[in-house]
Amino acid sequence: MNSKLSIWKILFLIFLFVGTIYIIRNQKPYITNSGKIFGTYYKITYKSETDLHEIIKQKMSDVDNSLSPFNKKSIITAINNNCDTTVNEMFTHVFTLAQEISEQTNGAFDITVAPLVNAWGFGFKKGTLPDSTTVDSLRRYIGYNTLSLNNGKITKLYPETMLDCSAIAKGYGCDAVATLLEDNGIADFMVEIGGEVVTRGKNDKGSNWAIGISKPNDNPGITENELQDIISISGKSMATSGNYRNFRYENGKKYSHTISPATGYPVEHSLLSATVIADDCATADALATAFMVMGKDKALEFCRNNENIEGYFIYANKDGRYKTAMSSGFGKYLRK
């Protein structure tokens, strides 16, 4: 009887030992890669035994070579300079999505806004503040429907028209890195480029990924990042556009880097930031910019009419105090 018990005890200990070794061997570490790209910072955390930083950097540089107007050798620069170019798959994907989003937002999002962005001093060519005659003359060359893509070639109605994908390229970059990680068998990761984020699986604590939404900060001297709320997500993408993040002061007036394609002027309303949750990050990024142009009420209406798009807005009320508003499906992502 006793020896029978001891055999069971020994078997149980062996089972425990083998089990523990098995669990330890299957526990992959979380790796974090970070650096600079597209004039901003990236941070990529993923569960893997192999460090994939080199191929991640290659992927981000492919995006830059395709879509950055700051890169003299990129496809977008060739198009802006009217050089004969055949576009690649990345360009085609982003261009097609950008055109769709322009259509859905009645032109609030428009990558042909580049000449105005440059004129207002936020683009790849520096301008001084334009007068109303300059704005009006540039507005002629703005309009997503003046461009078409056929057989790998962009055709422009006006040679003066230029493209600026800054409001969608970071989000697309996150999607491209996410696909690369998935292709390498990685299921748990968070990809962040300049505040735009893609999440999959779980973090190193076995929970959803937590992402902060910053409180608007109007004071250029203050760099610390206070949070308005924290989001908990997995399997979704999130992007934020904020007029407090990139603006310039000229003669005591503040100019935001979001331009209304309809008026040709930087947007001026009480909306301070728009955060979008969507299935892919390029869409979230572009819509966050579009929402800044549309304003809170139209943006909320857009979310109501579009399943899978949720928005969270920080705005200033009449006495200048910050308030928040969100679409009906956003609440489930807020960390309690």
Q: Tell me: does residue 257 bind ligand ADP (CB under 6 A).
A: yes
| Interaction partner, residue 203 (ligand ADP, Mg ion, none; CB < 5-8 Å by kind) | none
Distances (CA, A) of 279 to 176, 236, 285, 307: 14, 5, 11, 10
Q: Tell me: does residue 274 bind Mg ion (CB under 5 A).
A: no
Amino acid at 249: Y
Q: Tell me: does residue 64 bind Mg ion (CB under 5 A).
A: no
Q: Tell me: does residue 231 bind ligand ADP (CB under 6 A).
A: no
Q: Choose the stretch contacting Mg ion; rule: CB under 5 A; options: 82-90, 152-160, 278-286, 290-298.
A: 278-286
CA nearest neighbour of 326 among 238, 245, 256:
238
The rounded distance, in Å, linking the Cα atoms of 276 and 196 is: 10
Distances (CA, A) of 234 to 22, 48, 185, 210, 245: 27, 18, 17, 9, 26
| Interaction partner, residue 293 (ligand ADP, Mg ion, none; CB < 5-8 Å by kind) | ligand ADP
CA nearest neighbour of 44 among 220, 196, 155, 168:
196
Whole-number minimum distance, CB 299 to ligand ADP, in Å?
13
- Report the residue number, 42 or 122, with the smaller CB distance to ligand ADP: 122
CA 17 and chain centroid, separation = 46
Q: Tell me: does residue 258 bind ligand ADP (CB under 6 A).
A: yes
Q: Tell me: does residue 111 bind ligand ADP (CB under 6 A).
A: yes
Q: Tell me: does residue 241 bind ligand ADP (CB under 6 A).
A: yes
Contact pick of 75, 113, 142, 309 for ligand ADP (by CB under 6 A): 113
| Interaction partner, residue 117 (ligand ADP, Mg ion, none; CB < 5-8 Å by kind) | ligand ADP
Amino acid at 114: A
CA nearest neighbour of 166 among 114, 103, 90:
114
Size of residue set near Mg ion by CB under 5 A: 5
Contact pick of 145, 148, 246, 263 for ligand ADP (by CB under 6 A): 246
- Using CB under 6 A, which residues numbered 11 to 40 contact ligand ADP? none
Q: Tell me: does residue 96 bind ligand ADP (CB under 6 A).
A: no
Q: Choose the stretch contacting ligand ADP; rule: CB under 6 A; options: 24-32, 172-180, 281-289, 296-304.
A: 281-289
CA nearest neighbour of 275 among 201, 163, 171, 166:
171
Distances (CA, A) of 262 to 224, 235, 254, 283: 35, 35, 20, 21
Size of residue set near ligand ADP by CB under 6 A: 22
Q: Tell me: does residue 192 bind Mg ion (CB under 5 A).
A: no
Which residues are CB-neighbours of 4 under 8 A, at least 6 positions away?
none
The H or E element that residue 107 is part of is none
The binding site for ligand ADP (CB under 6 A) comprises 109-111, 113, 117, 122-123, 164, 166-167, 194, 241, 245-246, 257-259, 261, 285, 288-289, 293
Residues that bind Mg ion (CB under 5 A): 167, 241, 285, 288-289
